[in-house]
Every structure is written in C-alpha cells, then in structure tokens.
C-alpha cells in the first residue's frame, strides 16, 4: 500500500533502475578522468542530445567546465569491476585512466577518448550547463556514436540489503540490424 515517506532522498533511490554509463572527460592539458553515472537522460532526437547530472564537488564537472566535451560509454557484461573501480575512486586522488580495468582508444570527433570494450560510445559537445540543486546538469549534443551490436547492455538495478550495488545485463534486438 502507498504510504507517505518524508525521507525524499531515500525515495529517489527507490526509483532504482538506472541506465548506467561511464563518463569520460579530459582537462585542457590532456589529463583523462573516468567516472560512473546512473543519472543520465536522452533529451532530443533532432539534434541528438543526452544529458548527465554530476555532483558539484566532483572532478568530472570541473574538467567538463574546462574542456566542454565528454564521452558517455554504455557498459556491457564483464565491466562490473571497472564500474566499481571508477565509481569508488576520485580522479582528484588517483589517475583512473592508468588502471588495467579500463581500455581507452581515440574518439572520432572529440579529443576525449572512448572506452573500447563498451557496448556504445557517444561523443558529445556541451551545449548547456544548468544548476540543479547539488548537481550540474550537463547537456551535450551527440556528434558521433560507436556501437557493438553483439554486446548486451549492463545497467544499475539498486543495491542488496547489505548495500552492494546490483548490476544486470539485457540483450536488446532491433529490426534493422
């Protein structure tokens, strides 16, 4: 039965399914950072646009303000450890691009690298940044995409009662491939 609950942040977590992505960003001097972000949204087909909400105190928003482009990489089965690693360490402290859990490659239209073993990579140019409470919403135009149709999508499905993140994967099929 529906009951009012006044812990609104906890209630946001109960809207548990998230289309998790890696966010890759780069400073003007070429330092690369990678994070995991469940808070992302498709927001236009024409032009193609996608947005991601980033914590204001995080390192990625700083790099994107400096160099207004980013890559969103949709993970696949087998990237759970990479997601845990980039999601549990700050780029302010460690250089995550040096981890052997992450395989980077050159993008086609932005300077920021892609993640070469992901299901999908979206190369994005920033078109708008708005403040939403304790996050920045970074709105990007997708200017190129790389896709591996054989890889299932890995997504975030909440946490176990003990607090461990749960990942699930699903294979989607499309009539035109």
Query: Considering only residues 69-108, where is the footprint of its own copies by CB under 8 A?
Result: 74, 108
CB closer to its own copies out of 29 and 173: 173
Give 145's contacts (C-beta < 8 A, 6+ positions apart): 120, 121, 122, 123
- Tell me the C-alpha distance between 147 and 135, whole Å: 29
Are 54 and 92 a contacting pair, CB within 8 Å? no
Give the shortest CB-27-to-its own copies separation in angstroms.
24
* Nearer residue to its own copies within complex by CB, 65 or 159: 159
Which stretch of DSSP H or E encloses residue 14?
A: helix 8-14
Residue (31 or 117) nearer to its own copies, CB: 117
CA-wise closest residue to 148 among 108, 172, 117, 169: 117
57, 92, 106, 168: which one binds its own copies (CB under 8 A):
168
Q: Is the peptide bond before 47 cis (omega within 30 degrees of 0)?
A: yes
- Residue (2 or 93) nearer to its own copies, CB: 2
Q: Does 144 bind its own copies (CB under 8 A)?
A: yes
Q: Does 32 bind its own copies (CB under 8 A)?
A: no
Stretch that binds its own copies, among 17-25, 57-65, 82-90, 92-100 (CB under 8 A): 17-25
Among 62, 77, 145, 165, binds its own copies (CB under 8 A): 145
CA distances for 7 relative to 13, 14, 141, 170, angstroms: 10, 11, 35, 31
For its own copies, the binding residues in 38-67 under the rule CB under 8 A are 38-51, 53
* 128 touching its own copies, by CB under 8 A: yes
CA neighbor of 32 nearest in space, from 81, 66, 55: 66
């Amino acid at each position: 039965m529906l009951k009012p609950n006044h812990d609104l942040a906890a209630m946001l977590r109960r809207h548990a399914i998230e289309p998790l992505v890696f966010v890759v960003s780069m400073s003007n001097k070429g330092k690369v950072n990678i994070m995991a972000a469940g808070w992302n949204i498709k927001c236009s087909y024409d032009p193609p646009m996608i947005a991601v909400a980033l914590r204001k105190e995080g390192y990625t928003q700083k790099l994107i303000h400096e160099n207004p482009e980013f890559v969103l990489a949709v993970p696949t089965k087998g990237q759970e450890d990479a997601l845990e690693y980039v999601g549990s360490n700050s780029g302010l402290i460690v250089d995550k691009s040096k981890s052997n859990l992450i395989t980077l490659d050159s993008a086609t239209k932005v300077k920021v690298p892609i993640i070469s073993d992901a299901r999908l990579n979206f190369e994005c140019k920033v078109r708008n940044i708005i403040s939403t409470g304790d996050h920045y919403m970074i709105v990007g135009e997708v200017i190129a995409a790389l896709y591996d149709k054989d890889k299932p999508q890995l997504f975030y499905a909440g946490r176990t009662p003990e607090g461990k993140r749960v990942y699930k994967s699903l294979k989607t099929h499309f009539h035109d491939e």
